[in-house]
């Protein structure tokens, strides 16, 4: 009978994975003939022989073992793999395919995260700051929608007690996919934009810096450059629906 060595089966079966060797050489006391082969029964019998509890242990000569192994390999080459060998290969391939599928399923999709942020709205919390002559400016920004590489929406600027300087208009902030990706990865970004008043179409330059505290929120600084001043607002932002 052919000797089929299955290391995993030997460990799981406490050495019986090499049992086919016993069928090939019935009078040998070993299943695993190599010193490193896991065969607790062999080691137990050998230990008992040293204690005088077993006698006349028979070992198969190395040349006979090599000859049997050579014949077996020749027959495998001529006849193809045995059913057990084919089953072992099939199980191995199945396990490898399973591991590959799990790794692929768990791999994070960075592009999906960026796309998701682009479809969600950007919310900027209301803020206020001091202006000249003990005045106070308040900024309210509507939820901004991502469109053509920009976040667009409306804003309202109120200046007290100088109400004649208050205004409403449309706001556009440049936000490329690369900038959004960096922001979500935890990197602060600088941005530019413009604010256009509804009343007379005047355009103000907007400069800013967003610093993330997590993937979806952080702090932001706005600088709105008007005709006679530069008003700076410090507030927070977050992405949402």
CA 146 – CA 119 distance, rounded (Å): 7
Boundary (domain end) residue, out of 73, 106, 139: 106
Q: Give start and end residues of each alpha helix (H) in the chain.
A: 7-12, 19-24, 40-50, 62-79, 83-106, 110-119, 177-184
Asked if 203 and 195 touch (Cβ cutoff 8 Å), the reply is yes
For 233, counting Cβ atoms within 10 Å of its Cβ (0-12 exposed, 13-18 middle, 19+ buried), the class is: buried
Evaluate whether residue 2 is within a structural domain: no
Boundary (domain end) residue, out of 106, 128, 156: 106
Two tokens, residue 140 = 């309210």
| 18 and 122, same domain (yes or no) | no
Domain of residue 46, residue span: 7-106
Q: Report how many domains make up the chain.
A: 2
Evaluate whether residue 37 is within a structural domain: yes
Evaluate whether residue 130 is within a structural domain: yes
> Global pTM?
0.52
What tens-digit pLDDT sequence spans the chain (241 residues)?
Answer: 444 445 555 565 665 656 566 566 666 667 666 776 767 777 777 788 888 777 777 777 766 666 666 565 555 545 544 566 566 666 666 666 665 554 444 554 444 444 455 578 999 999 999 988 788 999 999 999 998 889 999 999 999 998 888 999 999 999 888 888 898 899 999 999 999 999 999 999 999 999 999 999 999 998 998 777 889 999 999 998 8
């Amino acid at each position: 009978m052919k000797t089929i060595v299955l290391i995993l089966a030997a460990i799981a079966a406490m050495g019986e994975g090499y049992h086919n060797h016993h069928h090939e050489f019935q009078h040998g006391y070993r299943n695993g003939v190599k010193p490193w082969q896991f065969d607790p029964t062999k080691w137990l019998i050998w230990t008992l022989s040293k204690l005088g509890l077993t006698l006349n242990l028979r070992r198969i000569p190395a040349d006979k073992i090599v000859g049997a192994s050579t014949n077996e390999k020749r027959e495998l080459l001529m006849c193809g793999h045995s059913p057990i060998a084919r089953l072992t290969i099939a199980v191995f391939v199945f396990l490898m395919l399973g591991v590959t599928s799990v790794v692929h399923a768990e791999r994070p999709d960075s592009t999906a995260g960026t796309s998701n942020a682009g479809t969600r709205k950007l919310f900027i919390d209301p803020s206020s700051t001091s202006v000249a002559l003990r005045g106070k400016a308040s900024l309210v920004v509507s939820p901004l929608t991502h469109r053509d590489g920009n976040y667009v929406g409306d804003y309202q600027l109120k200046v007290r007690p100088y109400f004649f300087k208050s205004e409403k208009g449309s706001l556009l902030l440049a936000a490329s996919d690369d900038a959004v990706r960096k922001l979500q990865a935890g990197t602060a970004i600088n941005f530019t934009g413009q604010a256009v008043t509804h009343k007379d179409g005047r355009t103000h330059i907007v400069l800013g810096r967003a610093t993330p505290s997590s993937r979806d929120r952080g702090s932001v600084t706005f600088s709105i450059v008007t005709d006679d001043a530069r008003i700076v607002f410090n507030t927070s932002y977050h992405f949402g629906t």
